[in-house]
Amino acid sequence: MSKQAVLDSLDANRQANFDRLLEFLRFETISAQSQHRGDMQACADWLVRLFTTAGVLARAGNDDARTTVLVYGHYDVQPVGDEKLWQSPPFEPTIRDGRIVARGAADDKGQIFTHVVATLAWINAARTLPVRVIFLIEGEEEIGSPNLGTFVQRHADELACDYVVLSDTAKLDADTPALTVSTRGLLYKQLTIAGPSKDLHSGLYGGAVGNPLNTLAKILASLVDKKGRVTIPGFYDNVQTPDVHQREALARIAPNDDNMANALGCPALAGEEGYTTIERIGVRPSLDVNGIIGGYTGEGSSTIIPARASAKVSMRLVEGQQPDAISQAFDKAVAAACPPSVRLSIETSAACEAYATRADTPGAQAALAAMAAAYDAQPALLYEGATLPILPLFRRVLRADSLMMGYCMRDCNAHSPNEFFHVSDFEAGCRASALFLAELADRVR
């Protein structure tokens, strides 16, 4: 293996690699906005050209190697939001204080590009790849990957791999790269409560008619008890209480509660009794009301009993919780809490299971070793509270574990104005991604 040659090549081509990243960032690949369809296609073409110019196809590598890694990422980005809040135009990448500021700088163009650069460096400098590498870079992640599941299922044979690697998560802090070992699942529900056929005068009928808003409040309040535990029967049935080792691991990455509350602007944090903040986010399920609307919500007052009320409720699920079973239990609990004076309807708009992997697999060890060498720092293990629906998909269809190597800062303004990625993280990420391929080849044969 010529690891050093590859690292030297990365060093020698710093400016070229960096310029190429900026080129990547200039494409206005906002998947949610149809006027950018042309930009999406141009960016996809540009990526394909990058690989073919280097003399490879997007599926590249040492055909003799039996070990295969699938690099997943996305070239689409979030809408820019209020452009006035950006200090520089979102699609004109600008360097400020060592940061590349642009929409997609971290999520996910900048991070996926470390793997692109690393793979091309292997091909250019070593004329080989330590393992077979397949790139799967989609343009629909920010709109929920509506076609990815079908695509992966249809091309399961071509996409067969030992591990999936992705860089769409963050570091622990400025100095510490991280391997994310779990993500929570998601179950999203929309409730509608219908009462009288039109809004009623609360004087003429108040006290004698089931009020959809009072009822909605009752139902929602019944779902979480005073101790912050979800009351849906069976909700915790297969949820493991974290053991001593896991709690210790979580404690090492725990934020300071007071600092976190201050940063978020909350008077205090709150959650399930008996668990720390990091445990509540990382390994415990939760239930949040995401929206409620009903009745008169304008200025001043209006004395009505509303005809209807609706709410959006989501649950983050952890390992062991089956979305289908929880979904049914939720519907049953809500129906049981609903009195006969109103009509209830429930819709499920998302259901995705949690994902958890171990840090002692050969793949995880390879990722940790690569990040440790590239950053000269012990990487952290992160338990992610958010949901990555692709991970259960890859495990189910490809039977492959996913390795989430995080290079960007947590507060990188993903989805917000002034998104950024440190130049030094881009370079360390390129090194880590390059070393990972060698480390993986060493461990998986």
Residues 36-95 touching its own copies, rule: CB under 8 A, are: none
Cα distances (Å, whole numbers) of residue 413 to 4, 139, 185: 34, 20, 23
Strand 308-317 and strand 401-406: pairing?
Answer: unpaired
Interface residue with its own copies among 33, 62, 124, 190 (CB under 8 A) is: 190
What six digits make up the tokens of 241? Answer: 């209480």
Footprint (CB under 8 A) of its own copies, residues 264-303: 264-272, 277, 280-281, 284-297, 300-303
Q: Which of 38, 18, 20 is nearest to 28 (CA)?
A: 38
For residue 188, the minimal CB distance to its own copies (Å) is 5
For residue 160, the minimal CB distance to its own copies (Å) is 30
Length of the chain: 445
Interface residue with its own copies among 305, 364, 369, 441 (CB under 8 A) is: 305
Footprint (CB under 8 A) of its own copies, residues 386-405: 386-387
Interface residue with its own copies among 316, 404, 431, 433 (CB under 8 A) is: 316
The residue range among 43-51, 93-101, 259-267, 397-405 that interacts with its own copies, by the rule CB under 8 A, is 259-267
Interface residue with its own copies among 50, 186, 351, 428 (CB under 8 A) is: 186
For residue 3, the minimal CB distance to its own copies (Å) is 35
For residue 6, the minimal CB distance to its own copies (Å) is 35
CA 128 – CA 118 distance, rounded (Å): 12
**CA 303 centroid distance within chain:** 43
For residue 396, the minimal CB distance to its own copies (Å) is 21
For residue 326, the minimal CB distance to its own copies (Å) is 15
What six digits make up the tokens of 136? Answer: 């799967």
What six digits make up the tokens of 426? Answer: 């881009």
34 binds its own copies (CB under 8 A): no
Interface residue with its own copies among 304, 366, 400, 434 (CB under 8 A) is: 304
Site size with its own copies, rule: CB under 8 A: 81
Helix, strand, or coil (residue 408)? strand
**CA 338 centroid distance within chain:** 34
Footprint (CB under 8 A) of its own copies, residues 321-360: 339-343, 349-350
> Is the Cβ of residue 52 or residue 341 nearer to its own copies in the bound state?
341
Beta strands in 105-160 (DSSP E): 132-138
Strand 343-352 and strand 99-101: pairing?
Answer: unpaired
Question: What is the Cβ-side half-sphere exposure of residue 342, based on CA atoms within 13 angstroms?
Answer: 31
CA 366 – CA 195 distance, rounded (Å): 59
> Is the Cβ of residue 225 or residue 248 nearer to its own copies in the bound state?
225
**CA 22 centroid distance within chain:** 23
For residue 323, the minimal CB distance to its own copies (Å) is 14
Question: What is the Cβ-side half-sphere exposure of residue 31, based on CA atoms within 13 angstroms?
Answer: 18
Cα distances (Å, whole numbers) of residue 91 to 31, 95, 305, 330, 423: 14, 12, 49, 43, 17
> Is the Cβ of residue 190 or residue 328 nearer to its own copies in the bound state?
190
Footprint (CB under 8 A) of its own copies, residues 147-176: none
> Is the Cβ of residue 263 or residue 325 nearer to its own copies in the bound state?
263
Cis peptide bond prior to 45, omega within 30° of 0: no
For residue 96, the minimal CB distance to its own copies (Å) is 23
What six digits make up the tokens of 290? Answer: 């995401």
Helix, strand, or coil (residue 76)? coil
For residue 324, the minimal CB distance to its own copies (Å) is 18
For residue 317, the minimal CB distance to its own copies (Å) is 11
Cα distances (Å, whole numbers) of residue 60 to 2, 5, 398: 18, 19, 18
> Is the Cβ of residue 124 or residue 202 nearer to its own copies in the bound state?
202
Write the DSSP symbol of residue 146.
Answer: T
Cβ 121 vs Cβ 115: under 8 Å: no
For residue 123, the minimal CB distance to its own copies (Å) is 36
**CA 365 centroid distance within chain:** 22
> Is the Cβ of residue 126 or residue 404 nearer to its own copies in the bound state?
404
> Is the Cβ of residue 156 or residue 266 nearer to its own copies in the bound state?
266
> Is the Cβ of residue 147 or residue 262 nearer to its own copies in the bound state?
262
Footprint (CB under 8 A) of its own copies, residues 191-250: 195-198, 200-211, 213-214, 216-218, 220-222, 224, 228
CA 174 – CA 181 distance, rounded (Å): 19
Footprint (CB under 8 A) of its own copies, residues 369-388: 384-387
> Is the Cβ of residue 310 or residue 361 nearer to its own copies in the bound state?
310
